């Protein structure tokens, strides 16, 4: 709905005009009044009026002067002049200042309605033109930003036409007046949020507003990371860390991390600088620093670890041994303490890479899971290797250890059940072997043959030999029923190579020979 302001020094005319028509039916939702040009100027600017109906001759400030000053701020305002016959020269002056129309006093309803209908239509047409222009500007800006962002991404990856991309980026960053480009600061920044990630354009806009300078932004390796680029004057090359600190401290949500690469002398060198900025960011995330971290700091930590890697490996083996001892016989609190000591040692060497530490911890967990016989959990070791932070890796390791221990306890509490189930699985896997017997199975589950025989009989009601024979015959029955293999081949396949003996066993179980069974079931 449009907003109308009526400016008239005569009270009865002013109030009469306000009540003169059904303004809402004409698309006018707000109607305000003013008693002279001074009040009219104030109200027009406050209301941001779309239409002004004004008298010309008023005390304090006449209508013509008022309209001039209003148009300095509201160039799209539509003005209708009220005038008597003796004010016609003033009316022509008002029209020169882009008054839409004028209405002679005394005002007639039909004349007012016709004039206002044209004015409202003109307002709507102006609104549509503004919207179309805003849409064109938005589409242009979106396209321009997309092109610049793509050029920036090309510089980071160095996979396409770097020279052309450098020219596109240079036209944006070097467009403002400068004393001379001293280099380019490239930052890799990471959001502290795990959900509701900011859009790239939001980061772009925030960075430019907070730093009061031209900045480019594009997506990083994942939705939580972004790459930023800004040009530095010669006298501010040494301020790139300070600028990054300003940004990280002023962004809307706390906890942002910025990795900084070395200053790129030219845009062609931005890709290499970004690679080092990424390494600095990875290092910062790994050690839990929510701040600005330079590639020099990350490189120094790596160098320190390299020089002391043997000492670290020795100390890690000692603490891993202590940890395994606590897992075997210690309390839960002692195990947690031993695990914490292990990770405190790792924290002393922040330059140890995430992949290296992950392989050490993964090997430790793998050993525990192997002891527990919980091979289904081994795939969870991928979680260890995917942890980006040291504290996250410690938490993940603790969870996997608890699972391994729970499985060990379950084995101890149901030892006989575990042994029987293990033997059954072995029979199902190796029924075709002629060497499958009580002695061989006992060696596989690390108990004596006598103990295994008694345990298996107690749990299943069958001896090992009886179970093996029954399982072999069940497989043979299925093969006879579903294939055209010779009886001798099937006997060999199920671990009873003596065809005569196989036939005797099968007839005892099914009442007919294997050949007769195959012929009967496949007619």
Q: Determine what percent of the chain is predicted with pLDDT higher than 70.
A: 91
Give the tens place of pLDDT for each residue, 316-367: 999 988 888 887 667 888 888 999 999 999 999 999 999 999 989 988 887 7
The reply to whether omega before 106 is within 30° of 0 (cis) is yes
- Report the 3 state secondary structure along 314-326: HHHHHHHHHHHHH
Give the tens place of pLDDT for each residue, 421-457: 889 999 999 999 998 999 989 888 878 899 899 999 9
Q: What's the CATH class of domain 149-285?
A: alpha beta
The larger pLDDT score, comparing residue 326 to residue 300, is at 300
473 has a pLDDT exceeding 50: yes
172-201 burial code (b ≥16 CB/10 A, e <16): bbeeeeeeebbbbbbbbbbbeeeeeebebe
> Under 8 Å CB-to-CB from 149, ≥6 apart: which residues?
200, 216, 217, 218
- CA distances (Å), 27 to each of 2, 22, 52, in order? 6, 9, 15
Give residue 374's pLDDT.
52
Q: Across the chain, what does the average pLDDT equal?
A: 86
106-144 burial code (b ≥16 CB/10 A, e <16): ebeeeebeebbeebbebbeeeeeeeeeeeeeeeeeeeee
**Residue 188: band (very low, low, confident or very high) from pLDDT cuts 50, 70, 90:** very high
**Residue 505: band (very low, low, confident or very high) from pLDDT cuts 50, 70, 90:** very high
Looking at residue 236, the DSSP 8-state letter turns out to be G
378 has a pLDDT exceeding 50: no
Q: What's the CATH class of domain 416-521?
A: mainly alpha
**Residue 377: band (very low, low, confident or very high) from pLDDT cuts 50, 70, 90:** very low
User: Mean pLDDT over residues 206-211, rounded?
Assistant: 91
Q: Determine what percent of the chain is predicted with pLDDT higher than 90.
A: 42
Give the tens place of pLDDT for each residue, 65-105: 898 899 889 888 899 888 765 555 655 665 555 566 777 77
User: Mean pLDDT over residues 19-42, rounded?
Assistant: 90
261 has a pLDDT exceeding 90: yes
Indicate the CATH number for domain 2-107: 3.40.50.2300
Residue extents of the structural domains in the chain: 2-107, 149-285, 308-413, 416-521
User: Mean pLDDT over residues 256-261, rounded?
Assistant: 94
The larger pLDDT score, comparing residue 142 to residue 211, is at 211
> Under 8 Å CB-to-CB from 104, ≥6 apart: which residues?
83, 84, 85, 111
Give residue 305's pLDDT.
95
Give the tens place of pLDDT for each residue, 124-150: 888 898 889 888 988 888 888 888 888
User: Mean pLDDT over residues 225-245, rounded?
Assistant: 90
């Amino acid at each position: 709905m449009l907003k109308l302001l009526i400016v008239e020094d005569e009270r009865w005319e002013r109030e009469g005009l306000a009540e003169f028509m059904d303004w809402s039916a004409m698309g006018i939702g707000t109607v305000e009044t003013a008693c002279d040009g001074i009040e009219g100027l104030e109200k027009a600017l406050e209301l941001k009026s779309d239409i002004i109906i004004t008298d010309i001759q008023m005390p304090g400030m006449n209508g013509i002067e008022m309209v001039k000053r209003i148009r300095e701020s509201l160039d799209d305002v539509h003005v209708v002049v009220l005038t008597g016959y003796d004010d016609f020269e003033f009316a022509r002056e008002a029209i020169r200042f882009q008054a839409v129309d004028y209405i002679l006093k005394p005002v007639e309803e039909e004349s007012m309605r016709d004039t206002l209908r044209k004015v409202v239509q003109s307002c709507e047409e102006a609104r549509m033109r503004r919207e179309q222009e805003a849409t064109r500007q938005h589409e242009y800006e979106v396209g321009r930003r997309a092109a610049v962002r793509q050029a920036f991404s090309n510089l980071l990856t160095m996979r396409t036409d770097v020279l052309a991309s450098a020219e596109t980026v240079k036209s944006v960053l070097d467009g403002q007046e400068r004393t001379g480009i001293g280099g380019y600061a490239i930052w890799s920044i990471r959001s502290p949020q795990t959900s509701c990630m900011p859009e790239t354009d939001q980061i772009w806009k925030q960075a430019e507003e907070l730093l009061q300078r031209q900045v480019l932004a594009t997506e990083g390796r994942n939705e939580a990371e972004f790459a930023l680029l800004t040009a530095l004057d010669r006298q501010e090359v040494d301020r790139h860390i300070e600028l990054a600190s300003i940004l990280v401290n002023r962004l809307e949500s706390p906890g942002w991390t910025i990795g900084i690469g070395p200053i790129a002398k030219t845009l062609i060198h931005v890709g290499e600088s970004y690679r080092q900025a990424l390494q600095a960011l990875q290092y910062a995330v790994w050690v839990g620093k929510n701040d600005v971290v330079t590639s020099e700091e990350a490189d120094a930590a790596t160098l320190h670890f390299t020089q002391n890697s043997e000492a670290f490996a020795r100390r890690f083996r000692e603490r891993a041994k202590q940890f395994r001892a606590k897992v075997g016989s210690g309390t839960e609190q002692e195990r947690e303490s031993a695990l914490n000591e292990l990770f405190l040692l790792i924290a002393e060497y922040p330059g140890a890479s995430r992949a290296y530490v992950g392989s050490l911890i993964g090997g430790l967990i793998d050993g525990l899971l192997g002891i527990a016989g919980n091979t289904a959990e081994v795939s969870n070791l991928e979680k260890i290797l995917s942890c980006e932070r040291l504290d996250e890796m410690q938490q993940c390791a603790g969870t996997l250890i608890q699972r391994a221990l729970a499985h060990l306890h379950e084995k101890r509490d149901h030892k006989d059940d575990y042994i029987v189930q293990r033997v059954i699985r072995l029979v199902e896997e190796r029924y075709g072997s002629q060497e499958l017997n009580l002695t061989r199975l006992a060696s596989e589950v690390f108990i004596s043959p006598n103990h295994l025989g008694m345990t298996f009989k107690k749990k299943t009601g069958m001896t090992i030999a009886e179970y093996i024979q029954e399982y072999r015959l069940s497989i043979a029955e299925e093969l006879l029923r579903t294939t055209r293999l010779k009886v001798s081949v099937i006997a060999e396949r199920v671990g009873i190579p003596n065809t005569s003996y196989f036939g005797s066993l099968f007839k005892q179980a099914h009442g007919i020979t294997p050949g007769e069974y195959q012929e009967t079931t496949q007619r």
